[in-house]
Amino acid sequence: MRFNKAGFQERFSVSRETIAGFEAYEALLKKWNPRINLVSRTTLAEVWHRHFADSAQLWDMMPETASSWLDFGSGAGFPALVVAILAKEKKSDLRVVLVESDQRKCAFLINVIAELGLNAEVKAARIEDIPPLDADVISARAVAPLEKLLELSALHAHKSTVMLFPKGNSYESELTAARKHWHIEHKAIPSLTDPNSVILKIKEFKRAE
């Protein structure tokens, strides 16, 4: 299924007000993209499918008790700003933290958060350089191999943290490499938007002895 605006609204059960928030986000992406290359022009033409739906599918994988969501290398805001827009309607107490080291992208993220009135904040730093955040959910989209993501997550996770990492068809080789150093309990959930991709949902991980 290719998600357009109407298909997105139906699948994710959101209000017209929330759709208006996504439309405002889309407009800001189109405004800023020529200056700082947030996403490729081809994917911007399919933003509802390639970015909004691709990110929104992580929402249903979040524990009901979650109150904090941490996103590494947020870039143009996927999935973190999509989660924050959904949270405004569905879970207003969810706090989303976006970590991004590129100052220009941080300026974009801060602008979207302010324009849309989202319960989110941007940390302009490398994830290794910020204090532990004890996040309930950790996500990262197209940032690093799984082994590196686990190293970074270990700095900011607690015993019940759920990690959600969208991965392409090489995810099994990433799991094999990561298992050399980590014991991992995971599910590979098929992606709604790409038959060759999955979301790795990791509930437990610890360093191998």
- Residues 80-136: pLDDT tens digits? 999 999 999 999 999 999 999 999 999 999 999 999 999 999 999 999 999 999 999
Q: Quick one: pLDDT at residue 69? A: 98
Domain boundaries, the chain: 5-207
d(CA 153, CA 133): 10
d(CA 100, CA 59): 21
pTM of the model: 0.96
Q: Quick one: pLDDT at residue 43? A: 87
127: phi then psi, degrees, rounded to nearest 5 = -60, -30
Superfamily of domain 5-207: Vaccinia Virus protein VP39 (3.40.50.150)
Three-class DSSP category at 12: helix
Q: Which CA distances in Å does 69 have to 135, 161, 205?
A: 6, 10, 18
- Residues 181-197: pLDDT tens digits? 999 999 999 999 999 99
